[in-house]
């Protein structure tokens, strides 16, 4: 069954995009990420223009994140105070990111920047998460081995403006989650992601938050930052396709509930290694497309045809 997307300017199969929304919503509830790191590339692979995919995907992230956050809220796994500090940084970052997005779009370079950003960020984050997860599993299997702390104290923990986050049992500088929020906000605007694939490992390894608390708090912040980013894209760059957004939204809400139920049954180390593998697979696919189809990046020729 076909439906026409007015902003993307093409016809698509309804059930294909409902299924994509459900699948990514499932991952959102499972890992505590917005799912944009997977959905935006999938939309691009399906023929949606990158600029439209980035701006529209934020709608689906909001829906699936709300669904997942509510499930974690019922379990008491959301640190509201930490989420608000992350949110302040996210709004600052997304405002800056939307401005940069519009600038690159005017220069005709936004498609290339989106693809390259995914390859770089997914490759780095996925690789680091996979290595750390494998080390954690190896330490647990050693008889009598002691588990190492997830984060190490360094100069970052000596920064001013310290705050006590009782829910997460932390006493750290507010500048740390604020900086993470700004970075995630920029990524949300330029890459069409909730930023969970950056935020989740940063909250675990840099802030030292308990893994169970990280997932719900991450989703809480993602809801508001991506909603704000969508509004800016719709009013500034006019790249939000609401028909596509509704299809992804319906599937995302349903999938997130199932993902949350499955995630509650898995160990923290298993969740981290599964997320790392997922990130690396998407990165490999994007990198392969750039290598196999270089004509999308540039073309070489001699002036005058000689």
| Alpha carbons 101 and 54: distance in angstroms, whole number | 10
Give residue-wise pLDDT tens across range 6-27.
777 778 788 888 888 888 778 7
pTM, full prediction: 0.63
Among the listed residues 90, 87, 81, the one whose alpha carbon sits nearest the alpha carbon of residue 182: 90
- When computed from its CA atoms, the radius of gyration of the chain, rounded to whole angstroms, is 20
Among the listed residues 152, 147, 197, the one whose alpha carbon sits nearest the alpha carbon of residue 32: 197
Is residue 94 within 8 Å of residue 188, measured between CB atoms?
A: yes
Residue 16 tokens read as 């294909």
| Alpha carbons 29 and 259: distance in angstroms, whole number | 4
Question: Concatenated DSSP letters for 97-128?
Answer: HHHHHHHHHHHT-HHHHHHHHHHHHHHHHHHH
Is residue 29 within 8 Å of residue 260, measured between CB atoms?
A: yes
Among the listed residues 276, 299, 252, 297, the one whose alpha carbon sits nearest the alpha carbon of residue 50: 297
Q: Which stretches of the chain score pLDDT less than 70?
A: 31-36, 58-61, 63-64, 143-159, 192-197, 237, 263-264, 266-271, 293-306
Is residue 4 within 8 Å of residue 48, measured between CB atoms?
A: no
Given this model, what pLDDT does residue 219 score?
81
| Alpha carbons 92 and 279: distance in angstroms, whole number | 26
| Alpha carbons 261 and 266: distance in angstroms, whole number | 10
Given this model, what pLDDT does residue 305 score?
46
| Alpha carbons 110 and 53: distance in angstroms, whole number | 12
| Alpha carbons 51 and 261: distance in angstroms, whole number | 33
Domain ranges of the chain: 2-291
Among the listed residues 152, 130, 262, the one whose alpha carbon sits nearest the alpha carbon of residue 197: 130
Among the listed residues 58, 22, 79, the one whose alpha carbon sits nearest the alpha carbon of residue 215: 79
| Alpha carbons 192 and 36: distance in angstroms, whole number | 6
Give residue-wise pLDDT tens across range 126-184.
787 778 777 777 777 776 555 545 455 555 566 677 878 877 777 888 788 888 889 88
Specify burial of residue 30 (Cβ count, 10 A radius: 0-12, 13-18, 19+): buried
Name the phi and psi angles at 270, rounded to 5: -65, -40
Residue 89 tokens read as 């940084």
148 sits in which H/E element: none
Question: Concatenated DSSP letters for 190-224?
Answer: HH---SHHHHHHHHHHTS---HHHHHHHHHHHHHH
Spell out the residues 6+ positions from residue 191 whose beta carbon is closer than 8 angstroms to its own: 36, 37, 40, 54, 114, 117, 118, 121
């Amino acid at each position: 069954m076909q439906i026409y997307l007015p902003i993307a300017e093409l016809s698509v199969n309804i059930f294909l995009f409902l299924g994509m929304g459900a699948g990514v919503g499932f991952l959102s509830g499972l890992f505590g990420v917005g799912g944009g790191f997977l959905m935006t590339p999938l939309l691009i692979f399906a023929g949606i223009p990158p600029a439209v995919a980035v701006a529209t995907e934020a709608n689906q992230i909001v829906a699936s994140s709300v669904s997942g956050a509510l499930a974690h809220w019922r379990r008491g796994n959301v640190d509201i105070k930490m989420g608000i500090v992350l949110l302040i940084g996210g709004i600052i970052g997304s405002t800056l990111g939307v401005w940069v997005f519009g600038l690159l779009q005017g220069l005709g370079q936004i498609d290339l920047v989106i693809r390259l950003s995914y390859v770089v960020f997914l490759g780095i984050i996925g690789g680091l998460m996979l290595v750390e997860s494998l080390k954690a599993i190896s330490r647990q299997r050693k008889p009598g081995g002691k588990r190492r702390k997830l984060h190490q104290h360094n100069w970052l923990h000596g920064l001013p403006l310290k705050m006590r986050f009782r829910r997460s049992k932390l006493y750290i500088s507010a500048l740390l989650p604020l900086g993470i929020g700004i970075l995630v906000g920029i990524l949300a605007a330029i890459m069409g992601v909730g930023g969970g694939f950056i935020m989740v490992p940063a909250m675990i390894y840099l802030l030292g938050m308990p893994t169970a608390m990280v997932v719900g708090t991450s989703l809480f912040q993602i809801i508001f930052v991506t909603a704000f980013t969508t509004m800016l894209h719709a009013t500034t760059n006019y790249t939000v396709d609401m028909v596509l957004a509704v299809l992804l939204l319906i599937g995302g809400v349903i999938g997130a509930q199932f993902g949350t139920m499955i995630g509650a049954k898995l160990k923290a180390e298993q969740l981290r290694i599964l997320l790392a593998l997922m990130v690396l697979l998407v990165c490999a696919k994007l990198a392969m497309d750039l290598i196999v189809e270089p004509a999308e990046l540039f073309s070489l020729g001699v002036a005058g045809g000689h």
